[in-house]
Amino acid sequence: MKIVQKGLADYQPIFEAMKAFNLGRDEHTEDELWVVEHPPVFTQGLSGKPEHLLVRGNIPVVQIDRGGQITYHGPGQLVIYTMIDFKRRKTSVRHIVSAIENGIIATLAEYGIEATAEPKRPGVYVDRRKIASLGLRIKNGSVYHGLALNVDMDLSPFTHINPCGYAGMEMTQIADFINPCPTLAEVGEKLTAHLSTQLTPKEA
């Protein structure tokens, strides 16, 4: 699995690049993990409802084609887009979601943070506070979009929305548990390693 470092990048161009990658790939295309950090942006998924945006400020809102509802991306958050062939895995969407969640949980465990997944609420939680969100789209037999792990960021924009459609959802981040907090690059290296293990097709 190829790791692609995108750095700090505006959301819209990355979104367009994801769609183009998905459209242009074939059965020989190598799977990729795109590691990104975004300037402040709210993204509204296919099932998103306008009323879940509670405060209309200066942060742009982008309508996108992943599952789920509204979430926030911003500096200090690690975003990884999972550009993977779904057909190659011969598995279920639930299995892909669980593999991503397990990769996040294993990464947090390396920092002594005990995290869990909740079957009815996709994502990863620490003491019922959400530390990572995920949303996927499957098109042309392949997966794109991915996950966002809060590392060391300003969490206040999450109070401007109902995160992932849940009113009053409390958010947390790695920096709430570790001082000094590891860098985004360090966390990204660990997380991409775990995701590569979790998402590698069994027949590979």
Whether the model pTM is above 0.75: yes
20: Cβ–Cβ under 8 A, 6 or more apart, which residues? none
Say if residue 201's pLDDT is above 80: no
User: In the chain, what percentage of residues exceed pLDDT 90?
Assistant: 78
> Which whole number is the average pLDDT over 164-175?
90
81 known ligand binder: no
Residues serving a catalytic function are: 164
How confident is the prediction for the chain on average, in pLDDT? 93
> Which whole number is the average pLDDT over 170-194?
97
73 known ligand binder: yes
47-101 residue pLDDT tens: 778 888 998 889 999 999 998 889 999 999 999 999 999 988 778 889 999 999 9
135 known ligand binder: yes
How confident is the model at residue 122, as a pLDDT?
Answer: 86
How confident is the model at residue 204, as a pLDDT?
Answer: 44
> Which whole number is the average pLDDT over 135-146?
93
CATH topology of domain 2-199: BirA Bifunctional Protein; domain 2 (3.30.930)
Q: Where are the domains of the chain?
A: 2-199
How confident is the model at residue 119, as a pLDDT?
Answer: 81
How confident is the model at residue 126, as a pLDDT?
Answer: 97
153: Cβ–Cβ under 8 A, 6 or more apart, which residues? 74, 75, 76, 77, 173, 175
Say if residue 165's pLDDT is above 90: no
134 known ligand binder: yes
122: Cβ–Cβ under 8 A, 6 or more apart, which residues? 68, 97, 101, 133, 134, 135, 164
- Per-residue pLDDT band at 203 (split at 50, 70, 90): low
Low-confidence winner among 61-70, 156-165, 194-203 (lowest mean pLDDT): 194-203
How confident is the model at residue 202, as a pLDDT?
Answer: 65
Strand ranges (DSSP E) for the chain?
Answer: 2-8, 32-37, 41-44, 61-63, 70-73, 77-85, 116-118, 121-126, 129-139, 142-150
7 known ligand binder: no
Phi, psi of 109 (to 5 degrees): -60, -30
Say if residue 179's pLDDT is above 60: yes
